[in-house]
Amino acid sequence: MCGICCSVNFSVEHFSKDLKEDLLYNLKQRGPNSSKQLLKSDVNYQCLFSGHVLHLRGVLTPQPVEDERGNVFLWNGEVFNGIMVEAEENDTQIVFNYLSSCKNESDILSLFSKIQGPWSFIYYQASTHYLWFGRDFFGRRSLLWHFNNLGKSFCLSSVGTQTSGVANQWQEVPACGIFRIDLKSAAISKCVILKSYPWKYISRENVIKECVDSLTQISADLPKIVSVEANEAKLYLEQSVVPLNMVLPPAAFETHCTDISRVPPIRETLQVCLTDRHMKEVVQQFIDVLSISVKRRVLYLPRDESLTSNVLKTCDKRASIAILFSGGIDSMVIATLADRHIPIDEPIDLLNVAFMTKEKTIPTSSNKKRSKQKNHCEIPSEEFSKNLAATADDNPDKQLSVPDRITGRAGLKELQAVNPSRIWNFVEINVSLEELQKFRRTRICQLIQPLDTVLDDSIGCAVWFASRGIGCVVTQDEVKSYQSNAKVVLTGIGADEQLAGYSRHRVCFQTHGLEGLNKEIEMELGRISSRNLGRDDRVIGDHGKEARFPFLDENVVSFLNSLPIWEKANLTLPRGIGEKLLLRLAAVELGLTSSALLPKRAMQFGSRIAKMEKNNEKASDKCGRLQVISSENLSIEKEIKM
């Protein structure tokens, strides 16, 4: 994880040796291990490169890096596959070595087509005066751009800034390919032309398809002096995932689990599916590919091998890996697979966030009924309800008994049963209204932007507090304060989008059938960069930590894309079974119990942040709470720095 930035000026009177203080501060938060700036000047323009490194891999390599020909590289990414990076090597240097050897545009595109893993980059090619930049296909790393309306300057950065009373001018670089700017030409013409090199793949019908973001759509939100054009050679990046299987069953929709619709929604319901040989093979293949994805993401970080269990007691060791943990099916499967690959004497931090709501009168039965209908929430299985009830009784503080805390504790017990030898640090992160409002105003609003909806506010704040990792750990003997120092945070995002986990998928299936559901899932993956991943990267990276997304590994996505929809979900079945059916079957095979039946619950409702301030807001409404209130925020941030 790194904070990367390139500020370009075409006007001599605006040449500067430093970034603005607030932008520099935001970047340094992302990269606590190394900070460096590099100035490259030409007769017509000036480029200020700023790199801030979170060291996770190989030898610490300060950024920006420069070669003997004056090429400059900024890299915020991880190479998990595609090109060879040995365990002791640093991928920044490896990727830069490849780039330096590229002879033409095709070579550069070939390189980024091969890399599997999250990335954003900025590359200055000195001999041609070209500035290349972009994000990976899913947009798992943030990159923003900001263009001066007069054409005198522009900036690329992992994170932006806000100015009180000024409309936000930062925008996310679309994850639809990579871009190239001819800096010399732009300085002379006073117009910035973005040459686009889109992601493309060959469909099953042998038709070349490209990223949904058209050049017209991108240009619409940019100043008039900035235009987006297709590259003259019509070159493109080759997409590293296979296209979605849109095949429909030949007859009326049937599933390998046709008999289970008459079985009560209990664990045995899922076991019936596993009696089918083909389905069992598919489930095992899914476990295998997801396990490899998790392995790559928990082993690509430094561990002090000299600190053996003889030197350092297991109970004194710190976790290297943390998981955003609700006890739901996504985080439970990730935790179970992480347990396979992380050294047994190393703890795993389970980060569980709850927002402290005021106690309310218990609703009447009629109110309960209306609430249940509103949230499309069906009664969970009897087995699961008993487990939750027992867990809730353990907690004397009803103010903190939010749904995700209850399911999180139940999930902890399951994990302890799966591997009682592992130290599972269940970190209870409790956030008051006052703390939420304070850090939203002074910190979080800077990170969520340019996104600005109520949903972005709820999820962004919840993820920020969860990934910060400051809370307490409850043991049999005591409750002690705890701060997670794990640099890597695993998150389950991508499971719902690919496996029909949202309630809107069920509505779509009921309205438009399997064909409509396929189109909805295709759209979900196409927009995940702009809806989720850039925001989450900025929010988690603010703590000097790196977000990693096992469900969005290229091989996992390709495997899921290759399956017909009915092998991934069966929405004729009730909630807690039909959605994410494949993942639930995998959970059963991995030895999980009650969590395999847990219905989808959005983070904003499970953590209760959605109930903290206004109850009548729509998720898509613009959120006034994300606006900067005071220009003094930066100085306040430094005083309350975590």
Sole residue written with tokens 């009915």: 566
Same domain, 480 and 558: yes
Q: Tell me, what's the pLDDT at 630?
A: 44
Q: Tell me, what's the pLDDT at 216?
A: 80
Same domain, 515 and 595: yes
Helix or strand holding residue 536 (H, E): helix 534-541
Same domain, 169 and 79: yes
Sign of CA dihedral 293, 298, 301, 304: negative
DSSP-assigned letter for residue 533: I
What CATH number is given to the structural domain containing 468? 3.40.50.620
Q: Tell me, what's the pLDDT at 379?
A: 36
Sign of CA dihedral 212, 214, 220, 221: positive
Give the separation between CA 178 and CA 175, rounded to whole angstroms. 8
Q: Which residues participate in catalysis according to the annotation?
A: 2
- Give a yes or no: residue 508 inside a domain: yes
Count of structural domains, the chain? 2
Q: Peptide bond preceding 64: is omega within 30 degrees of 0, i.e. cis?
A: yes
pTM for the model stands at 0.89
Sole residue written with tokens 């998720």: 619
CA 53 → CA 17, 65, 561, 630, distances in Å?
20, 12, 34, 29
Contact 143, 135 (CB under 8 A): yes
Alpha-helical regions (H) of 347-394: 365-374, 382-393
- Give a yes or no: residue 247 inside a domain: no
Q: What pLDDT, in 10s, does the model give residues 369-392?
A: 434 433 333 334 444 444 444 544
What CATH number is given to the structural domain containing 203? 3.60.20.10
Give the separation between CA 347 and CA 315, rounded to whole angstroms. 8
Structure tokens at 446: 């800077």
Q: Tell me, what's the pLDDT at 477?
A: 78
Q: Tell me, what's the pLDDT at 203?
A: 58
The boundaries of the domain holding residue 93 are 2-238
Residue 450, amino acid? P
Max Cα distance, the chain (Å): 76
CA 406 → CA 394, 395, 410, distances in Å?
10, 9, 6
Same domain, 166 and 282: no
CA 196 → CA 221, 235, 378, 404, distances in Å?
16, 9, 47, 43
Same domain, 282 and 220: no
Q: Tell me, what's the pLDDT at 183?
A: 95
In the β-sheet with 546-548, what is the strand arrangement from edge to edge? 479-483, 470-474, 424-431, 348-355, 321-324, 488-490, 546-548
| Phi/psi-derived region of residue 214, left when phi > 0, alpha when psi is between -120 and 50, beta in every other case | beta
Q: Tell me, what's the pLDDT at 382?
A: 46
Q: Which residues of the chain have pLDDT under 50?
A: 258, 260-261, 306-312, 360-389, 391-393, 395-396, 630-634, 636-637, 640-642
Q: Peptide bond preceding 450: is omega within 30 degrees of 0, i.e. cis?
A: yes
- Give a yes or no: residue 593 inside a domain: yes
| Phi/psi-derived region of residue 77, left when phi > 0, alpha when psi is between -120 and 50, beta in every other case | beta
Structure tokens at 47: 């480029």
Give the separation between CA 35 and CA 32, rounded to whole angstroms. 8
DSSP-assigned letter for residue 359: P
Among 470, 453, 456, smallest CA distance to 543 is for: 470
- Give a yes or no: residue 263 inside a domain: no
Residue 619, amino acid? A
Among 154, 225, 171, 221, smallest CA distance to 193 is for: 225
Give the separation between CA 469 and CA 466, rounded to whole angstroms. 6
Same domain, 294 and 208: no
Same domain, 408 and 469: yes
Structure tokens at 123: 């590359």
Structure tokens at 246: 């849109």
Q: Tell me, what's the pLDDT at 397?
A: 64
Total residues belonging to the chain: 642
Q: What pLDDT, in 10s, does the model give residues 539-588?
A: 999 999 999 999 999 999 999 999 999 999 999 888 889 999 999 999 99
- Give a yes or no: residue 468 inside a domain: yes
Same domain, 130 and 182: yes
Contact 89, 302 (CB under 8 A): no
Contact 205, 25 (CB under 8 A): no
- Give a yes or no: residue 166 inside a domain: yes
Give the separation between CA 353 and CA 511, rounded to whole angstroms. 35
Same domain, 476 and 596: yes
Same domain, 189 and 278: no
Same domain, 157 and 114: yes
Give the separation between CA 484 and CA 138, rounded to whole angstroms. 28
Among 642, 639, 638, smallest CA distance to 24 is for: 638
Same domain, 89 and 148: yes
Residue 429, amino acid? I
- Angle of the 454-468 helix axis to the 534-541 helix axis, nearest 10: 40
Q: Is 47 helix (H, G, I), strand (E, B) or coil?
A: strand
Among 576, 625, 626, 567, smallest CA distance to 599 is for: 576
